[in-house]
């Protein structure tokens, strides 16, 4: 039982990272129906930014996290402006290829500038382990869990309570109608990208602290898994993405703990296919009827 | 067979063009214009053409967005590697070909029957997941030598074999596209509900295109393994699927001519940029984004080079 709870704790901390990433996917997909393949690489940029400011400017953890969020938010907006905006009315597959191109560009650009070797992330927070009834939990895990829950709550408030959030929801339902009632489409989409990318930036800094190692290709697999999480939770739904992230994180650590770590990625994909077949709109997704 | 007869004249023309190409290549090698470096580049391009034509059939003509092509390629590659290492003979090579195709058909049916009910991006993600599952299984099997991959695979796929097989798969695929079946899958692409209302069993035809594409991918995988002599599970990851997809989209979704052009352009670009190291991928990515932003329909769109049209054109001129 202790082992089980230990794995649950580990799974929740990993899951909260996936959840933060999945939020970006779900918002962008909800609003412009694009699988933003470059999202995982924004998370990588966040981790590198954290590495840089902690090493060079000696920022503390909170300051590094917040600055990474701002920088990644700006990066997201720039990427949307340069690469995705000109393609808004072209076929979906073209936009998808562009997103893949942007992802290649960021990965290889970073590998070219900083080398493709893994680096040690500076340990700004000294690890302290607490023992609660035989279950070991570190302050880093607690910090990740609390920070990501706070971020998710803030995001939920922005989407539900602010004017911009209402505009985002309106655009995701019907962008033409939203424009008719005076929503500025470009500004809303930019804002969505800024919001999603800043979540990814925060996740990047936290994963650097947790795994202690960063490299230019670190965004690829977590990016895809986070997208899986978004689909499982119901794409376009914010609580769904959070739930999906936690589910995928838990599943991965549990599979690993029963000795099948070689198959942990396969299990995630099997779950994805099963969910898509039983409930294609995901756990919290709305069922959209197709009209002829 | 009716299709082949109806298009006999045009197929014959293509056949002559292909034979000419073969002898051109042969002569250029003999006079030393093509060294082993260029030959290597050409064979890679041809294998990519087989892969991309198969994927274009699924994406461009049947309209089903599959991101799992590398999985079927891995099946063909590993079947050939395992069988030819056990029985080192050209016969073993052809047997491995057939076995690879059969396994690919079975895998495509297992993957396709449930997932082809999905649409668009969901189908893409599901097929990508299926391909990853295939790769992870290969990664953990004893017979495939795990993550280290297989090496010293006997080389049976020389350039003439790859060339001939590329021609055969392309002729079969193009004839399928121009047949009744091809028109059916195009109607499914245009409007699935309308096609269904016309009495077409859409699932069956989508599956047919998917299986045919998977078989060509397995063939390409066999050639890849036998030509390069080394394979590893990581060669068949998401990146490989994406690079095949890039060829299809770059050439124009729904244009076989475009696929040929894009495979050649990308193959040459790849070779030219080889000296740049990491910067190569940066340039490649930037070029891809720029091309998509300024020419979203790909190089040729849906334009197709057709001998029939050329004939008609000449006939009209002379009248």
Closest alpha carbon within chain B to A95 = B292
C-alpha dist (Å) from residue B192 to A44, A291, B55, B63, B177 = 40, 12, 19, 10, 17
Q: Which position has the higher pLDDT, A180 or A259?
A: A180
In chain A, which residues have their Cβ closer than 8 Å to the Cβ of B137? 266
Instruction: Mean pLDDT check: name the lowest of A126-135, A145-154, B65-74, B102-111.
Output: A126-135
Query: pLDDT tens digit string along A198-248?
Result: 999 999 999 988 888 898 888 888 888 898 898 888 887 888 889 999 999
* Contact check, Cβ <8 Å, A280/B122: yes
Q: What pLDDT is attached to residue A77?
A: 95
| B161 at interface of A, judged by CB pairs closer than 8 A | no
* Contact check, Cβ <8 Å, A266/B133: yes
Question: A-B interface: how many C-beta pairs under 8 angstroms?
Answer: 119
Closest alpha carbon within chain A to B245 = A97
CA dist A41 and B289 (Å) reads 16
* Contact check, Cβ <8 Å, B278/A276: no
* Contact check, Cβ <8 Å, A111/B278: yes
* Contact check, Cβ <8 Å, A108/B278: yes
In chain A, which residues have their Cβ closer than 8 Å to the Cβ of B242? 100
* Contact check, Cβ <8 Å, A280/B137: no
Q: Decide: residue A86, CB within 10 A, 0-12 exposed, 13-18 middle, 19+ buried.
A: middle
DSSP state of B235: G
Mean pLDDT (10-residue bins), chain B, 319 residues: 65 85 86 84 93 93 89 94 88 91 94 84 86 91 86 86 92 89 90 88 91 94 92 88 88 89 89 79 82 80 77 78
Reported as half-sphere exposure (CB side, CA atoms, 13 A), residue A196 has a value of 37
* C-beta of residue B140 within 8 angstroms of C-beta of residue A262: yes
The whole-number average pLDDT for the span A84-109 is 86
CA dist A28 and A49 (Å) reads 23
Q: What pLDDT is attached to residue B134?
A: 92
| B240 at interface of A, judged by CB pairs closer than 8 A | no
| A25 at interface of B, judged by CB pairs closer than 8 A | no
Q: What pLDDT is attached to residue A287?
A: 65
| A187 at interface of B, judged by CB pairs closer than 8 A | no
The answer, yes or no, to whether ipTM is higher than 0.95 is no
Quickly count: other Cβ atoms within 10 Å of residue B244's Cβ: 26
The whole-number average pLDDT for the span A80-104 is 86
Q: What pLDDT is attached to residue A288?
A: 63
* C-beta of residue B173 within 8 angstroms of C-beta of residue B256: yes
C-alpha dist (Å) from residue A61 to A42, A46, A125, A207, B5 = 19, 13, 7, 12, 73
Q: Please name the residue that has the structure tokens 């668009």.
A: B120
In chain A, which residues have their Cβ closer than 8 Å to the Cβ of B74? none
| A129 at interface of B, judged by CB pairs closer than 8 A | no
CA dist A27 and A195 (Å) reads 9
| B125 at interface of A, judged by CB pairs closer than 8 A | yes
* C-beta of residue B61 within 8 angstroms of C-beta of residue B254: yes
Query: pLDDT tens digit string along A47-66?
Result: 999 999 998 988 888 899 99
Q: Decide: residue A178, CB within 10 A, 0-12 exposed, 13-18 middle, 19+ buried.
A: buried
* Contact check, Cβ <8 Å, B120/A92: yes
The separation between the first and the last C-alpha atoms of chain A, rounded to the nearest angstrom, is 54
Task: Please state the pTM of the whole predicted model.
Answer: 0.86
* Contact check, Cβ <8 Å, A87/B296: yes
* Contact check, Cβ <8 Å, A100/B59: no
Residue A10 pLDDT exceeds 70: yes
Query: Which residue among A93, A111, A273 sits closest to B129, beta carbon to beta carbon?
Result: A273
- CATH fold label, B2-318: ABC transporter involved in vitamin B12 uptake, BtuC (1.10.3470)
């Amino acid at each position: 039982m202790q082992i089980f709870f230990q794995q649950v704790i580990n799974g929740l901390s990993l899951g909260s990272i996936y959840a933060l990433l999945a939020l970006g996917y779900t918002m962008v997909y909800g609003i412009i129906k694009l699988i933003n393949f470059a999202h995982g690489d924004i998370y990588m940029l966040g981790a590198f930014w954290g590495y840089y400011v902690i090493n060079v400017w000696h920022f503390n953890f909170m300051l590094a996290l917040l600055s990474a969020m701002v920088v990644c938010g700006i990066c997201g907006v720039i990427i949307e402006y340069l690469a995705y905006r000109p393609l808004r009315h072209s076929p979906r597959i073209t936009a998808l290829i562009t997103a893949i191109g942007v992802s290649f560009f960021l990965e290889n650009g970073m590998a070219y500038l900083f080398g493709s070797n893994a680096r040690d992330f500076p340990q700004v927070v000294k690890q302290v382990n607490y023992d609660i009834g035989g279950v070991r939990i570190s302050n880093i895990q607690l910090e990740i869990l609390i920070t990501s829950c706070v971020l998710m709550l803030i995001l939920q408030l922005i989407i539900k309570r602010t004017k911009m959030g209402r505009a985002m929801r309106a655009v995701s339902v019907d962008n033409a109608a939203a424009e008719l009632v005076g929503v500025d489409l470009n500004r809303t989409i930019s804002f969505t990208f800024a919001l999603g990318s800043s979540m990814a930036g925060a996740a990047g800094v936290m994963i650097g602290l947790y795994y202690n190692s960063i490299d230019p290709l670190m965004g690829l697999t977590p990016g895809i898994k986070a997208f899986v999480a978004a689909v499982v939770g119901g794409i376009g739904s914010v609580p769904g993405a959070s739930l999906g992230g936690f589910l995928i994180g838990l599943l991965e650590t549990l599979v690993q703990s029963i000795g099948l770590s070689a198959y942990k990625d396969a299990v995630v994909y099997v779950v994805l296919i099963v969910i898509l077949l039983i409930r294609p709109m995901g756990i919290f997704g709305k069922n959209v009827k197709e009209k002829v | 067979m009716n299709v082949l007869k109806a298009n006999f004249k045009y197929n014959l023309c293509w056949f002559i063009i292909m034979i000419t190409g073969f002898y051109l290549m042969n002569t250029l090698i003999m006079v030393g214009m093509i060294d082993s470096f260029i030959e290597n580049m050409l064979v890679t391009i041809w294998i990519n053409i087989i892969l991309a034509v198969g994927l274009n059939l699924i994406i461009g003509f049947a309209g089903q967005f599959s991101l799992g092509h590398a999985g079927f390629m891995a099946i063909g590659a590993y079947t050939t590697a395992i069988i030819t290492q056990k029985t080192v003979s050209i016969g073993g090579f052809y047997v491995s070909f057939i076995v690879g195709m059969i396994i690919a058909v079975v895998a495509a049916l297992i993957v396709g029957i449930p997932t082809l009910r999905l649409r668009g991006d969901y189908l893409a993600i599901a097929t990508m997941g299926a391909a990853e599952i295939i790769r992870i299984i290969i990664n953990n099997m004893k017979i495939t030598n795990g993550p280290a991959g297989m090496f010293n695979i006997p080389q049976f796929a020389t350039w003439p074999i790859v060339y001939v097989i590329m021609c055969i798969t392309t002729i079969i695929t193009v004839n399928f596209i121009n047949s009744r079946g091809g028109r059916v899958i195009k109607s499914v692409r245009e409007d699935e509900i309308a096609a269904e209302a016309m009495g077409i069993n859409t699932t069956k035809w989508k599956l047919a295109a998917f299986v045919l594409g998977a078989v060509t991918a397995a063939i390409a995988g066999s050639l890849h393994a036998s030509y390069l002599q080394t394979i590893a599970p990581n060669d068949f990851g998401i990146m490989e699927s994406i690079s095949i997809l890039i060829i299809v989209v770059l050439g124009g979704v729904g244009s076989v001519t475009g696929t040929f052009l894009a495979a050649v352009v990308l193959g040459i670009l790849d070779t030219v940029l080889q000296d740049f190291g990491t910067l190569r991928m940066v340039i490649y990515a930037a070029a891809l984004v720029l091309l998509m932003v300024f020419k979203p329909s790909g190089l040729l769109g849906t334009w197709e080079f057709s001998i029939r049209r050329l004939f008609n054109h000449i006939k009209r001129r002379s009248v």
